[in-house]
């Protein structure tokens, strides 16, 4: 497998929605455990989280905002090694994500590594262990953003440019990270209200480590759809589109329902992992 370094990860709003929704549907005992772990975050990183989320530096750290920490640290030299953990790239002739399709330094393996660390957290947890909680919440958002499971040669859609200015997002990856969220429901409150109503319409299996590859494949199959305007399947190879693309007028309405489902599944599956691991 080859790896690229996309410029963006699922935007702040997406991560906040996933983690807030998951947190609200946890048993009270698990919520209390998470709130206790968040207090271990060093002041330096509390300020980093709050600055990244445009909060006052001394604002209380919520799980929703803490889930953006993995993006907030990207420019810190001590965390550079985690850059490739935000995604997974495969060859263009790849048909399906299979178990252990990548062996290290990729998104599915990142979930497995930090879930395992989380199970070892005790009452005297260290900051290094608490990082697993923050990473895990972040990874569940990323793996459900379809373009985080894609191809290296176009940086997961970061090089797929638009030919029009209907949105501030200038490439397809950015659009799916951010603009598809803001152009529709616009606010976190509206998104949470919508997804809370739909919470019991879908059920998820209890956590099993094999599931990460299924989640990755769900995203991968989505990016290969012609309607996504990312690539064109030809002889079992998803070839890059040439030139700048123009999204059809119904692109938002057509795909926002997909994003709704991906956010909902991410939150539900995160809650299952947290219940099983804490």
Question: Per-residue pLDDT tens for 200-209?
Answer: 998 999 999 9
How far is Cα 29 from Cα 6, in angstroms, rounded to an integer? Answer: 37
pLDDT at res. 245: 87
**Cβ-based neighbour number of residue 274 at 10 Å:** 27
Asked if residue 90 lies in contact with residue 111, where contact means CB atoms within 8 angstroms, the answer is: no
pLDDT at res. 3: 36
Whole-model pTM: value is 0.94
Domains of the chain (ranges, CATH numbers): 12-277 (1.10.575.10)
Angle at 115 between CA 109 and CA 121, to 5 degrees: 145
How far is Cα 60 from Cα 23, in angstroms, rounded to an integer? Answer: 16
Rounded to 5 degrees, φ, ψ at 232 are -125, 120
* CA separation, residue 232 to residues 39, 224, 242 (Å): 48, 7, 10
Asked if residue 231 lies in contact with residue 240, where contact means CB atoms within 8 angstroms, the answer is: yes
pLDDT at res. 184: 64
pLDDT at res. 167: 74
């Amino acid at each position: 497998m080859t790896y690229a370094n996309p410029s963006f990860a699922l935007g702040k709003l997406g991560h906040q929605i996933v983690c807030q929704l998951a947190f609200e549907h946890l048993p009270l005992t698990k919520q209390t455990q998470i709130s206790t772990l968040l207090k271990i975050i060093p002041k330096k990183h509390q300020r980093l989280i709050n600055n990244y989320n445009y909060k006052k530096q001394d604002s209380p750290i919520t799980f929703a905002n803490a889930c953006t920490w993995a993006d907030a640290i990207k420019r810190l030299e001590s965390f550079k090694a985690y850059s490739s953990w935000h995604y997974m790239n495969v060859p263009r002739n790849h048909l399906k994500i299979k178990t252990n399709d990548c062996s290290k330094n990729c998104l599915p393996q990142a979930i497995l590594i930090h879930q395992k660390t989380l199970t070892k957290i005790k009452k005297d947890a260290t900051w290094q262990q608490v990082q697993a909680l923050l990473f895990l919440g972040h990874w569940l958002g990323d793996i459900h953003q379809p373009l985080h499971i894609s191809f290296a040669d176009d940086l997961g859609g970061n090089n797929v440019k638009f030919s029009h200015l209907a949105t501030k997002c200038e490439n397809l990856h950015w659009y799916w990270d951010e603009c598809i969220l803001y152009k529709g429901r616009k606010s976190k409150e509206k998104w949470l209200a919508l997804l809370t109503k739909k919470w019991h319409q879908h059920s998820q299996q209890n956590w099993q480590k094999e599931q990460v590859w299924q989640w990755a494949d769900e995203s991968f199959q989505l990016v290969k759809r012609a309607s996504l305007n990312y690539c064109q399947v030809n002889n079992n190879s998803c070839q890059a589109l040439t030139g700048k693309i123009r999204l059809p007028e119904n692109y938002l309405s057509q795909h926002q329902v997909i994003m709704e489902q991906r956010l909902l599944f991410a939150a539900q599956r995160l809650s299952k992992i947290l219940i099983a691991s804490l």
